[in-house]
Amino acid sequence: MSNLTHLNDKGEAQMVDVGDKVATSRVATASAQVKMSDKTLNMIMDGKHKKGDVLAVARIAAIQAAKKTSDIIPLCHPLMLSSIKVELEPDRENCCIRINTLCKVSGQTGVEMEALCAASVAGLTIYDMCKAVDKGMVISDIRLETKSGGKSGEWKRV
């Protein structure tokens, strides 16, 4: 019926059986950005937010989100991630914080969703911590940047 692996012959949702797949080293990177007012960005960068270190909290939230992806996305497999990296780069010129995540695993399925989940939750956490001073923030450009490993091999955003 479909080429979508998460649907069976009847079109019903299913978790893909990865039991017969070979475990390989798999890596995925994702990105996002949070656009905000210069006042909000300066507050974050100057460490003057009354809730504390916004970027430190967003980094921890991203790591936690990657580890909990299978609890959030219904058909994702639980993975034993070997590495999660989160970079939060303030961009004063464009009044935003750029988010970059990397997830690694040696396993039978990829880590794209974990990297994407981490980037998304980092953005949501920044929004949550700063919404009292800037409700107009925009979380955008959540996207997979690279993936490697598994049967489909390497992929990179052009």
Q: Which of 87, 78, 86, 126 is nearest to 103 (CA)?
A: 86
- The active-site residue out of 91, 128, 134, 141 is 128
Please state whether beta strands 155-156 and 138-148 pair in parallel, antiparallel, or not at all (unpaired): antiparallel
Does residue 143 come out as left (phi exceeding 0), alpha (psi in the -120 to 50 range) or beta?
A: beta
Alpha helix stretches (DSSP H) within the chain: 38-45, 54-67, 69-72, 112-130
Determine the Cα–Cα distance for residues 5 and 14; give it in Å rounded to an integer.
8
**In the annotation, is 134 catalytic?**
no
Determine the Cα–Cα distance for residues 123 and 55; give it in Å rounded to an integer.
10
107 neighbors 26 (Cβ within 8 angstroms): yes
Q: DSSP 3-state assignment of 146?
A: strand
The residues carrying an active-site annotation are 128
